Amino acid sequence: MVGVHVSAEGAAPPRARFLLCRPLGQEAVRSAAAFRVAGERLSREGVESLRFDYHGTGDSPGDESAQSLDDWVQDILTAHELIAADGGPPVHWFGMGLGAVAALRAALLAKHPPRHLILWEPVFNGADYLDALIAGHKAELSMMFAQPWEQIAGSGKVAEPTLPGDVLGFELGDRLVAELRALPDLNVLPALRRGLRITCAVRGDQPHPFNGHAALPTFKLHTVEHPTDWMSSQAMGTAIAPPDIPRVLLSTID
């Protein structure tokens, strides 16, 4: 895998370490600035970080169509072992979108789990997420041609997007699509029972499964201050770096 390690500024030992787990496809591309800004802000606050591309994604080698959520979990565990190898300061994980789902799964398997797990706009349901990818693909084409999707599809200019297949410029293979279709609703309770502290960031207008978690002392719900549609090309640009991401990350450090 290809990763970017950002050291903590200053001569003092780092206060903590963060493993930053990226989302899927265009969402990873369009949130790149947010991950870079988060790493830079953590560095200035004396925290080191590691962000990386899963095998078969981004700059990492591998077949894009062969990617798998289960393999991503193993990639996170490998990256965690690397950043935590010397037994130094506590390691926290931040995952966005589908990366948050992979991080939650990995946290249940890690021999030495993270101190705190931040799930930023995680995928709540796999089938709904696949539908959102198809809808996002059609919306991008409608924007490109300045026509409603029904009119574009009727003209025969482009093919109907299907899964498995190429959606939003990325190839989703049989294995990943099957995993997502079978993905159960997001459940943080097993991780909380393991002793993890979890912060989950959701949009204010988004239904979520955490209404009964408010009384749990190790769970915190954060409302996203600047919601961004990471599936839309309108999210591109270095100005798109929600300021509450680094602030929430830093708030988890003891």
Q: Are residues 178 and 63 in the same domain?
A: no
Q: Are residues 102 and 119 in the same domain?
A: yes
pTM of the model: 0.94
What is the per-residue pLDDT for 107? 97
Contact 118, 199 (CB under 8 A): yes
Q: Are residues 23 and 107 in the same domain?
A: yes
Tokens 């025969």 map to which residue? 156
What is the per-residue pLDDT for 239? 53
d(CA 204, CA 191): 24
CATH number assigned to the domain comprising residue 232 = 3.40.50.1820
Contact 67, 57 (CB under 8 A): yes
Last residue of a domain, one of 133, 157, 184: 184
Residue 180: which domain range? Answer: 125-184
Of 17, 22, 42, the C-alpha closest to 115 is 17
Q: Are residues 100 and 22 in the same domain?
A: yes
Q: Are residues 58 and 168 in the same domain?
A: no
Q: Are residues 20 and 119 in the same domain?
A: yes
Q: What backbone torsions phi and psi does residue 211 show, to the nearest 5 degrees? A: -60, -30
What is the per-residue pLDDT for 34? 93
Q: Are residues 205 and 89 in the same domain?
A: yes
DSSP letter string over 44-64?
HTTEEEEEEEPTTSTTS-S-G
Rounded mean pLDDT for each run of 10 residues along the chain, 254 residues in total: 95 94 93 94 97 94 93 97 93 98 97 96 96 95 92 90 95 96 95 96 91 91 90 65 92 88
Q: Are residues 178 and 210 in the same domain?
A: no
End-to-end CA distance of the chain: 30
Q: Are residues 100 and 51 in the same domain?
A: yes
Of 62, 61, 51, the C-alpha closest to 99 is 51
Structurally, how many domains does the chain consist of?
A: 2
Q: Are residues 119 and 143 in the same domain?
A: no
- Distances from the Cα of 184 to the Cα of 72, 187, 188, angstroms: 17, 8, 12
Q: Are residues 204 and 116 in the same domain?
A: yes
Last residue of a domain, one of 135, 165, 184: 184
CA angle 30, 32, 37 (to 5 degrees): 130
CB count within 10 Å of CB 216 equals 14
Q: Are residues 162 and 202 in the same domain?
A: no
Q: Can you count the helices (H) and strands (E) in the chain?
A: 9, 9
